[in-house]
Structure 1
Amino acid sequence: MTMTDDSRVERDFYARDAEEQQAFLQQTWCDHCQGVDLGMTDPVEYEQKHTIFIEGRCTGCGQPVITELTDESF
């Protein structure tokens, strides 16, 4: 199996410290309802193209929310 640079590699969100999990779940931005810090549910963490993402659902409208982690995020 050959992996390309854009392959999605699943990571374990729940392996993170509980405080860190809460921060990522609460500090969100929803493109759909334009709401800040509404929160997210059902988090899935993955790495793609050397960038880590946490994807879930907006607690306000239920639409997908994606957080891109930067060096300062973790």
Structure 2
Amino acid sequence: MSDERIERDFMARDEQERQAFLEQTWCDKCLQENLGMNTPLEYEFKGIVFIEGKCNQCGEVVLTELTDEEF
């Protein structure tokens, strides 16, 4: 497995799936769920797929780790 990030195309997902990932979030700084994220970036790192963006409320990085059934 590579220690480098492999960029993936978040926009290749269908609209409903993209919206779910953008809305169903957890922010470690706000300590709240479903505040939403913007500027999503999808990538694979060490065999794990992540979607990273910025919290709509505070602007901190929010990170979603995808499990096998999510991709």
TM-score tier after normalising by the smaller chain length: over 0.9
1:28-52 Cα distance to aligned partner (Å, 9 max, x none): 0000110100000000000000000
Q: Which residue of 2 aligns with 1:35?
A: 32
Larger radius of gyration: 1
Gaps of at least 5 residues in structure 2 are none
Query: Which structure features the higher share of strand residues?
Result: 2
Shift of 1:72: 2.5
1:61 is paired with a residue of what secondary structure?
coil
Structure 1: which amino acid aligns with 2:48?
T
- Relative to the length of structure 1, the TM-score reads 0.91
**AA of the residue aligned to 2:52:** E
**1:19-73 Cα deviation digits (max 9, x unpaired):** 0000000000000110100000000000000000000000011100000000122
Sequence identity percentage: 61
Aligned length: 71
Q: In the alignment, which of 39, 61, 66 is matched to residue 63 of structure 2?
A: 66
Runs of 4+ in 1 over 2 A off after TM superposition: none
Q: TM-score, normalised by structure 2?
A: 0.95
* Cα distance between partner residues in 2 of 1:24 and 1:44: 11
Residues of 2 paired with 1:72 and 1:15: CA distance?
17
